[in-house]
Amino acid sequence: MRVIFMGTPDFSVPTLTEIVSSGHEVVAVYTRAPKPAGRGQEERKSPVHVAAEGFGIPVFTPRSLKGADEQGVFALHDADLAVVVAYGLLLPKPILDAPRLGCINLHGSLLPRWRGAAPIQRAVMAGDSQTGVMVMQMDEGLDTGAVGLGEVIPIGPDMTAGELHDTMMRVGADLMGRALAAIDRGSMDFTPQSEDGANYAKKIEKAEARIDWSRPAEEVHNHIRGLSPFPGAWFEIELGGKPVRVKALRSTLGAGNGVPGTILGDLTITCGTGAVRLTQVQREGKGAMDAATFLRGAGTLPPTVL
């Protein structure tokens, strides 16, 4: 098939690679425009942009797809299908309708459980025991289209959002490869979603990253792993007479009770009920380290975190 691929971050690259290696003709790649990054603020191309150039595929980086000119260019690709994986721009109806077979999306949840911008993080933060990836026919709604294929992925009790992201990235690429093969054969059936159990996975805001130790230990633990590695759930602790911000990157449920925020030892900290043991942290200005390394460098700890 003649395919337009639309994606931006690392998460999207394995799917692009799978489509190319499966023998489909990727006639164009759409990705977000380069952004200034690093100390020199030089414009940095997205991971999909770099991958597409490696494959020799023409790359398009429009700021918007709402204008008639961009929509006309998109239609001129004469594509059978558009595949969308974490692209980052809304697709207006003329774009959705341009490919002969429409646009399909790889979505990181078992729809309709988590629709929206941050389904991976929200699934972990909610304490879900499983999630998945699904291939969905796109419509004008927010992740409301009919579903063609899906794959269930278990979420381990200490699994982080970063680990889940990497698993989904691999499983999703394979799933999309199978979906395109079925569509090419004309054997793909899309089933409308139910509205029962639908939740909105809103974008992660930095303001919600601070740990609230008054919450139950299980909720604190889920909060930590759901925001790991980015933006990172954090707390403050007094070291050397001044407050220092520390990100909690990995944790597990610990033993103990007490006033929320009390340090019981080996970085076990009490919560509203129960306790959480931090196993990997990142002190501001330093790299990630295990709890033992942090404790050796921190010296005598205060009785509580701030």
Where in the chain is CATH 3.10.25.10?
Answer: 206-298
CA 11 to CA 171: how far, in whole Å?
11
295 is in an annotated binding site: no
253 marked as binding residue: no
CA-derived radius of gyration, the chain: 22
> What's the pLDDT tens digit per position in 151-209?
999 999 999 999 999 999 999 999 999 999 999 999 999 999 999 999 999 999 999 99
- DSSP-derived secondary structure for 106-170: EESSSTTSSBSS-HHHHHHHTT-SEEEEEEEE--SSSS-SPEEEEEEEE--TT--HHHHHHHHHH
What's 255's DSSP letter?
A: -
Looking at residue 41, its pLDDT comes to 74
Token pair 């959002």 is found at 161
Tell me what the pLDDT averaged over the chain comes to: 96
154 annotated as a binding-site residue: no
C-alpha 18: how far from chain center: 19
Q: Which residues of the chain have pLDDT under 70?
A: none
**Is 111 marked as binding a ligand?**
yes
Q: What is the pLDDT of residue 69?
A: 97
Where, residue-wise, is CATH 3.40.50.170 in the chain? Answer: 2-185
**Amino acid letter, residue 304:** T
Classified as helix, coil or strand, 15 is: helix
Q: Please provide the CATH number assigned to the domain covering 2-185.
A: 3.40.50.170
Give domain 206-298's CATH architecture: Roll (3.10)
pLDDT of residue 200: 97
